Amino acid sequence: MDDVKIGEILLPGDEKTQEQQEARVKSRFWPTMRKAIRQIPFSRDVIAAFFCATDRQTPLRVRGILLAALGYFVLPFDAIPDMLAVVGFTDDIAVLTTALALINGHIREHHYEAADAVLADEEQQAATKS
């Protein structure tokens, strides 16, 4: 995936586009994240990015970039299908990594605290199933 395509994916869009993207991300994020949580080495950052993107205190442009990246992440079909083991999330990782670099500093401590709570719940559920 080259930089031009990632740059196109990460365009924040106008407010209406962001609202549509936010609805799409909210409806698909958790099922997708649960499938990818062990395959993405920076899951904590991705979950914190979700909380940042849905936080009305986050600047509009930052929300737009994050929503665009998370929207790509939750798409069922993208450049490399996510159902392919190991390599399936590599394109998503490239887009998410670029988005996180672009908005560096906008994800706040309370976003990470919320992500930590989700990850703790996931670990607890996994331990219960074992």
pLDDT score of 129: 79
- CA–CA dist 38, 36 (Å, integer): 6
Question: With pLDDT > 70 as the criterion, what percentage of the chain qualifies?
Answer: 82
- CA–CA dist 26, 39 (Å, integer): 21
pTM: 0.82
The predicted-structure confidence for 71-92, as pLDDT tens digits, reads as follows: 988 876 544 444 444 455 677 8
- CA–CA dist 53, 4 (Å, integer): 23
The predicted-structure confidence for 1-23, as pLDDT tens digits, reads as follows: 444 466 666 777 788 888 888 99
Q: How confident is the model at residue 53 (pLDDT cuts 50, 70, 90)?
A: very high
DSSP H helical segments within 37-129, as ranges? 43-53, 60-74, 90-102, 109-129
